[in-house]
Amino acid sequence: MKQILHNHRSIGLALGVTSIATCGFFYHQHTKHKPLNNHLQQVMQDYGYSKTQQKALLDLLKTYQVNTTCTARNKQEANQWLIQTTQKHWLRKGERWSPENETLEQRLQADKSHFLTILEQLGRNQTMTPSPQDIKHHIAAIPGGTKPRVSMRFNAMIEKINQGTIPTKIIAVTGYRALLPEEAPEITENRTEAHMIKQTWYALVKDHPELAKIPFEISESKKPEGQARANTFDTVQKLAKRDDCQNGTLVVYIEQPFAPRFLSIFSAYMHIPVFIDTKAIDAKQNPLFLWPDEEARRIYMMSKLPLFQYENTATVPLPNPSP
């Protein structure tokens, strides 16, 4: 836990939380908070939230007109309340492009200036990048996802390579997932995420021949029995077992909304120091509703880490759409 919390603080991690107001849907909350339930406070502290961030977490729930009174009698009940409440109100519906999410995005955009002000106060609109001195001997990790996301992560890494930050190896970290019908229509055979990543990489090497000098591999986790696809836990745990990931450092290229969750999971399982490298992305690829959605996912994922599992805590199944 110390490594995870240290990593969060060292890069200025703050919650992706907002206080949003649109007529008939959200409202600003100006009243003072009631004393925070001690057990809930302890759980949020375990998950790395400072007192300021804890208040912000409740403020965000209140903007969704959620009763934030927690009457938990122990940490187990507090943890259950936190997971169920944030998942119910913050998780996006289906994939990013579903009509319900588009409607929510329009409501958030109506008060975008206030949203961005909160992000600035929390430091979430700042890019994260490791010091070159910390990653002289590093492996670059490219998490899987949709083709636009994967391309963005590869390009962010290429930009750093052009600046002289050259990894000893590049590993695309993914799990089995069949592509959706609308994804990468140019791929007609072997329509899996891993194959799409491979084709994306080959195309980049054609444009940047110098990349061929850097070893490239795909670490693909198999689909666990009973699951539609492998999740981030599966992919990171497989990566952590590799012989070539026992020395040096690991740099994960990921967009800002996903950084806290990925940092938590990679730091928990890897045996080497983990750094996050992020880059600001446009609104089309980074809709506002992703911030609370990712916060709910981070809380759930943190609760599943060995360091934070509370006994007898029932949790709500977490849907796993494409990042």
* 267-309 pLDDT tens trace: 999 999 999 998 765 545 578 888 888 888 989 988 888 777 6
Tell me what pLDDT residue 155 has: 94
- 69: buried, middle or exposed (CB in 10 Å: 19+, 13-18, 0-12)? exposed
Give the mean model confidence (pLDDT) for residues 160-172.
95
CB 87 within 8 A of CB 318: yes
Q: Is the pTM of this model over 0.85?
A: no
Domains and CATH numbers, the chain: 2-125+289-304 (no CATH), 132-277 (3.40.50)
How many whole angstroms separate alpha carbon 252 and alpha carbon 224?
A: 24
Could you tell me the sign of the dihedral formed by the alpha carbons of 93, 232, 198, 286, in that order?
Answer: positive
**How far apart (Å, rounded) are the C-alpha atoms in residues 14 and 77?**
25
Looking up tokens 């600035």 gives 120
Quick one: which of 226, 205, 232, 250 has its CA closest to 145?
Answer: 232
* Average pLDDT of the residues in 176-204: 93
Q: Do 11 and 276 meet the contact criterion of CB atoms below 8 Å apart?
A: yes
139 or 93: which leads in pLDDT: 139
CB 41 within 8 A of CB 107: no
Lowest mean pLDDT among 48-57, 183-192, 232-241: 48-57
Q: For the chain, what percentages of helix, strand and coil (3-state, to nearest 5) are there? A: 45, 10, 45
Total residues belonging to the chain: 323
Would you say residue 311 has pLDDT above 80?
no
More confident: 55 or 142: 142
Average pLDDT over every residue of 54-81: 85
Mean pLDDT of 6-23: 36
Q: Is the pLDDT of residue 204 over 50?
A: yes
Q: Which residue has the higher pLDDT, 97 or 40?
A: 40
Beta bridge partners of 249: 138
pLDDT at 34: 62
- Give the per-residue pLDDT at 123: 59
Q: 227 to each of 7, 115, 176, 181, how far by Cα in Å?
A: 31, 36, 10, 19
Residue 261: its pLDDT value, please? 87
Average pLDDT, the chain: 80
Cβ neighbours of 291 (radius 10 Å): 23
Distance CA 222, CA 220 (A): 6
The pLDDT tens digits for 84-136 are: 999 998 888 777 677 888 887 887 788 787 777 666 666 566 678 899 889 98
Element (H, E) at 79: helix 75-90
Of 106, 44, 92, the residue nearest 322 (C-alpha): 92
pLDDT reported for residue 128: 84
Name the phi and psi angles at 247, rounded to 5.
-135, 160
Give yes or no for a contact between 29 and 18, defined as CB atoms under 8 angstroms apart: no
For residue 50, what are its two tokens?
A: 């400072």
Which pair of tokens denotes residue 3? 């490594």
pLDDT band at 162 (very low <50, low <70, confident <90, very high): very high
Given this model, what pLDDT does residue 1 score? 47
Would you give the DSSP letter of residue 258? G
